[in-house]
Amino acid sequence: MAIQFLLFVAFLLSSFAYGIDANSVQLGSTIVAGTNSSWRSSSEDYAFGFYHLNSGRYLVGIWFDKIPNKTLVWSANRDNPVEIGSYINLTRSGQFVLQPLNGTSFSIYEGSNTASAVMQNDGNLVLKNALSNVIWQSFDSPTDTLLLGQTLNASRNLYSNANGSVDYSTGQYSLEIQQSDGNILLKAYRFTDSAYWWSDTVQNTGVRIIFDNTTAFLYAVNATHQIIFNMTTEVEDAIEDYYHRVVVDDKGNFQKWIYLKENGSEWRSVWKAVTEPCTVTALCGVYGFCNTTDSDNHTYTCGCLPGYTPLDPTAPSKGCYLSEVKDLCAGNSSGSNFMVEVKEIQHADIPNHGYVFFDLQVLSGVDQETCKKELLADCLCMVAVSLGNNCFKKKWPIVNAARIFPKTSNSVMLVKVPRVANDKESSSLAVLIVALVSCSLLAALFIATAIYHHPFYQHLMHKEAPPKPKTKPMDINLKVFSFQQLREATNGFKDKLGRGAYGTVYGGILNLEGQQVQVAVKKLEQVEDQGDKEFETEVQVIALTHHRNLVGLLGFCNEQSHRLLVYEKMEKGTLSNFLFGEGDKPSWESRVRIVLEIARGLLYLHEECDNQIIHCDIKPQNVLLDSSYTAKISDFGLAKLLMKDKTRTNTNARGTVGYMAPEWLKNAPVTTKVDIYSFGVMLLEIIFCRKHIELHQIEDETMGDDLILIDWVMYLAKENNLRAPVIHHLEVESDIKRFERMAMVGLCCVNPNPTLRPSMKIVVQMLEGNVGVGVPTIDS
């Protein structure tokens, strides 16, 4: 008996030594989707495991476990739910992985030194090593929610769900802390860089948001731990009687919610950042209209602007599209030809939240009727707002049209729409079409009968057709890799080089023809659903492009659900880091060379390769530099490919805010001119060494407002003052004529009207000085 007691004491001592607590999860533990098993906190308030969705699939997540609706607060795979039978495994080798029933395993924690896991009473799932040190915790990678005791640093953002408790995937709203100045922002990050709510905590460093577990206050502190912004100022009498959470919701608000632990029935909002919902950007989607329905502006309905139709009638927040698309800037267009008219919306506006660049043009001393005429006369403008004696012509897309009392009481929104033909005209046209079609069919039938009975055709019918020639396989030097080969080459996809619109890129080493070659492996994640044959055809098209200014494709993997592309690795990284990283600016000569190299690469894609390719996402992050700093375009061919006989296409908006051509957002035909626009923005960034948007404006009033690079350069050009920003840069000053020429080329490329932008061939000729630079359109 004494020996048993001593053994028991020894076990307790060893448990304390290694930090094993009562609900500690040991190595080798698993949870299987569909079995209702989970790892619970000792209080049983929280649980970790598979969260069952209405779709029948599962998220790996953490939720409040004692309340009936099991509110989800964190997820590891919010954008990729898995099937029943998938499992979570805390492996005996110390890894923490999700293994889908069909698919590749996913590391929840990238390391392999885990000794145990604990679901804590504060809702934080932690992993510990053998010394009981926390090596990973869910609190460090939040999704849309903060819990008591949790801190949000500037390196992390909160992202809303796409649709409440129906769709937990990443939505369109974010809460972020700007590292540059400490301001806390709420914004519709997929639409614009501008915020619709902010804390105004500028000129602070080390800012973080704290959800205090002692007071239940939510506040922001700076690097010296000084409270700089209080969000909540009132709390319940006994905070321990409630569950607490703060959430960025799918309506774009940041709210604190509480739930009474005993006999509670629902979550109750006790604080919200946004008190007037219609001030939220894109709350009703692109071309939607937010209409407040009460005097306090707390409730609202979503509709569409006149002439627009809901994308999804069951979900008004998804936005609208133009019911009848017309190219108002075509060469033969006119108001009468297209039968356009202007619809009025009383007491409505498109607020710009202080960002004046949301206005295409502001006309002073203009009444409402004149504003209408100006709108009709401008083929590039679809909406204007008349307020007093001012006419505000708006840029597209329209994402925040709203009626908010009394803010918009004196405004009239003017919307230009195609006029709908009347019923009499439609009926006459229909009768005419039916008559023409009937006559055509009868004539075709008569001709076909005559030909069929002709002796010459009878002879041809009995003649044996010649055998079809065998298709010659494409002769391309492209290697096919297995998924296992690429997993081993990248050491389990551990060396993450970057992430783009189409997937994540990993570094690795492959043995190719007896040589060790450094490669970049892109795991495609956002490709269109297509068959193996279609995918391999697109890969072959990419492989057939050969140019010194394009990143070379070495091979691919197309195995089950795995689609990966293998590229040569570019040692010097992205052009973005080269231009805007720490250290001295690149030399003027190197910047000029890089501009020309990118231009020549785009010219090849547009006009010189067999299959014309529109890149659709030209930006500094998609230009890579090799060991000799030669610029090479990456990610080409991953957007929609165009054959020679398909030069125009209508497609969903893609690309990056700031570089996207306006026609992406107007349902207008998309051509190679979208790349010209993006190139123009990037050209200006390269020669000025400035990002397309600068949050810190210069104070020199003689040089204009430099917030938006395009607008700023346009202002300098109009004032004949392009020399001013580089007057202290001797290398550029000594080559000022070429600098000015390149700036004017950039402005020509960003013309809002795609038909007025030069082709890539002309752009190269202008940059080389072989063709004169046209005068870009400069608004007065």
> What's the rounded Cα separation, in Å, for the pair 529 and 732?
49
Backbone angles phi, psi at 600, to 5 degrees: -70, -35
Residue type present at position 719: E
Quote the crossing angle between the two packed helices 736-749 and 709-718, to the nearest 10°.
120
3-state secondary structure of 261: coil
Instruction: Give the list of residues 6+ apart from residue 759 with CB closer than 8 angstroms, or none.
Output: 606, 607, 672, 676
Q: Could you confirm whether 349 is annotated as catalytic?
A: no
Which residue's structure tokens are 């008190």?
275
Candidates 37, 35, 34; CA nearest to 48 is 37
Question: Is the distance from CB of 599 to CB of 679 less than 8 angstroms?
Answer: yes
What token pair was written down for 761?
A: 């061939």
What token pair was written down for 104?
A: 């590749």
Question: How wide is the angle at C-alpha 415 spanned by C-alphas 411 and 416, nearest 5°?
Answer: 150
> What's the rounded Cα separation, in Å, for the pair 501 and 528?
13
Helix H or strand E segment including 270 = strand 268-272
Question: Is the distance from CB of 567 to CB of 554 less than 8 angstroms?
Answer: yes
> What's the rounded Cα separation, in Å, for the pair 81 and 35?
16
What token pair was written down for 345?
A: 């919306």
Asked whether the bond before 466 is cis by omega within 30 degrees of 0, the reply is: no
> What's the rounded Cα separation, in Å, for the pair 384 and 358?
11
Instruction: Give the list of residues 6+ apart from residue 153 with CB closer than 8 angstroms, or none.
Output: 177, 208
Helix residue ranges per DSSP H, 472-611: 483-489, 532-543, 575-580, 588-603
Question: Is the distance from CB of 564 to CB of 481 less than 8 angstroms?
Answer: yes
Q: What are the CA-CA distances from residue 568 to residues 522, 526, 605, 624 (Å)?
A: 11, 22, 19, 11
Helix residue ranges per DSSP H, 516-639: 532-543, 575-580, 588-603
**What does DSSP assign to residue 335?**
H
* 523 annotated to a ligand binding site: yes
Asked whether the bond before 397 is cis by omega within 30 degrees of 0, the reply is: yes
Question: Is the distance from CB of 252 to CB of 280 less than 8 angstroms?
Answer: yes
Given phi > 0 = left and psi -120 to 50 = alpha, else beta, which region is 262? beta
> What's the rounded Cα separation, in Å, for the pair 278 and 272?
14
Candidates 251, 230, 252; CA nearest to 174 is 252
3-state secondary structure of 396: coil
> For residue 394, what are the β-bridge partners?
359
> What's the rounded Cα separation, in Å, for the pair 756 and 101?
53
Question: Is the distance from CB of 613 to CB of 641 less than 8 angstroms?
Answer: yes
> What's the rounded Cα separation, in Å, for the pair 179 and 549?
34
Q: Which residue among the candidates 65, 349, 617, 706 is catalytic per the annotation?
A: 617
Quote the crossing angle between the two packed helices 709-718 and 673-688, to the nearest 10°.
80
Enzyme catalytic residues:
617
- Annotated binding-site ranges for ATP: 523
